[in-house]
Copies of this chain bind each other. A is one copy, B any other.
């Protein structure tokens, strides 16, 4: 981290990149880092560039810069494991490239890298970086809001396994810096009427099997509710955790296949996923069917997984 700070000190222009279709953590790490550098070194020029994302637009606004700006500049890329997904791709025009990420590394891009998969969010890495050099660095409320947003969104509100004592220490520090947790929650909780209507569809149309519930997301449903595939797929969480139904699935229709998001809060399901052209973790996996014709067999197999689990097998 000291070497990163040295590089930041050495450059007058610093351009911060994230990934395509940025999420809350990407925005949080980008704008949090910008705030730290700009507040600590008022003479430096600091820009955040890349694709925009509406739902976290309260965190900050992307800068529009010309190619010339990259001359002799430092490029920092946050929260991005795959080189192809860096947004925008002009980061290579910089004089020196630093990668800061918490994902399992895929591409080892950049001249300097700080990658640590123990962090449940990239924003937590930036917050931690700030705390390590608190004597030299400044962070204002604006930056704290960005970093807190990143931490909250990537941990599902402090729910996921990577959350540690350090996560809460960083969150506490950011609150001390002025973060209004209710304000952030309100910003993140805004939903479109389309999404609310789709939730109604999911809750009213999911199918109840033997220890298994599932919902079919056919093309006509997705079109009728006017949502993106990603939004439709995110509905899998709605039918999770129902008492007596430890396995649940969402089936998304695509032209040549049915993609399945498979979840569990008990039985191990990745073997089932393996059987259907997929894989994943013990309790969150993905797989696919070639057509709806295979659905009954798949559900039967899922029910057998639950039964075996209940028998203690």
Contacts and interface: CB of A to CB of B under 8 A. Distances in A.
A185 interface: yes
B159 A182 contact: yes
Interface string A231-244: 00000001111111
Given A242-B196, A243-B193, A167 B159 contact: no
Nearest to A266: B186
Q: On chain A, which size bracket covers the interface?
A: 35 or more
A226 interface: no
Given A191-B243, A203-B196, A204-B204, A163 B175 contact: yes
B196 A239 contact: yes
A297 interface: no
A243 B192 contact: yes
A266 B239 CA distance: 30
Contacts of A200: 200, 202-204
A157 B157 contact: yes
Contacts of A203: 196-197, 199-201, 203-204
B158 A157 contact: yes
A240 B186 CA distance: 10
A303 B197 CA distance: 21
Contact of A241 (B157, B166, B186): B186
Contacts of A176: 165
A43 interface: no
Interface in A222-265: 238-245, 265
Contacts of A180: 161
Tell me which of A158, A164, A208, A244 has the highest count of chain B C-beta atoms within 10 A of its own C-beta.
A158
Contact of A181 (B161, B190, B199): B161
A240 to B, nearest CB: 7
Interface string A156-180: 0111110111111101110110001
A189 interface: yes
B181 A163 contact: yes
Contacts of A196: 203, 239, 242
B159 A185 contact: yes
A168 B193 CA distance: 34
A186 to B, nearest CB: 5
A248 B176 CA distance: 31
A192 B208 CA distance: 13
B173 A158 contact: no
Interface in A109-146: none
B244 A193 contact: yes
